[in-house]
């Protein structure tokens, strides 16, 4: 798994990258009450805002960590946004994307580097 400075995690599944937020980010947000996901087949540039999360504390955006196409979204989050707090590293992924250049993942932090950044 790779991590961004914005507390997103990236997991490679075959030729796709799955994106979610870290446990740290979920704790900082507090109880998540709403998640707005992107449309499937949306082309995104790195840095585009693609997910809106609302919690009892704040609203936050999740940006596309890479350039590519959204090929799947986690519909479970529409019915159960609290899943983000319950299982941020597992069932609460936000979207899957197809990226042109998988080597771009090399630019992100590994788990040790991420844990140092939040220590």
Domain assignments of the chain as residue spans, ordered by start: 2-102
The model's pTM: 0.94
Conformational region of residue 107, where left means phi above 0, alpha means psi within -120 to 50, and beta covers everything else: alpha
What tens-digit pLDDT sequence spans the chain (119 residues)?
Answer: 999 999 999 999 999 999 999 999 999 999 999 999 999 999 999 999 999 999 998 899 999 999 999 999 999 999 999 999 999 999 999 999 999 899 999 999 999 999 999 99
Nearest to 40 by CA among 114, 95, 119: 95
In this structure, are residues 86 and 32 in contact, taking their beta carbons and an 8 Å threshold? no
Determine the pLDDT at residue 58. 86
**CATH class of the region 2-102:** mainly beta
Q: What is the dihedral of CA 38, 41, 47, 49, to 10 degrees?
A: -20
């Amino acid at each position: 798994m790779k991590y961004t400075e914005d507390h997103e995690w990236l997991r490679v599944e075959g030729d796709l990258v799955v994106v979610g937020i870290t446990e740290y980010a979920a704790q900082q947000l507090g109880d998540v009450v709403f998640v707005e996901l992107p449309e499937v087949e949306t082309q995104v540039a790195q840095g585009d805002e693609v997910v809106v999360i609302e919690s009892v504390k704040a609203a936050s955006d999740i940006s596309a960590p890479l350039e590519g196409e959204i090929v799947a979204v986690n519909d479970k989050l529409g019915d159960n946004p609290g899943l983000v707090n319950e299982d941020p590293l597992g069932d609460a992924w936000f979207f899957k994307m197809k990226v042109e250049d998988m080597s771009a993942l090399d630019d992100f932090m590994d788990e040790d580097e991420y844990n140092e950044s939040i220590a």
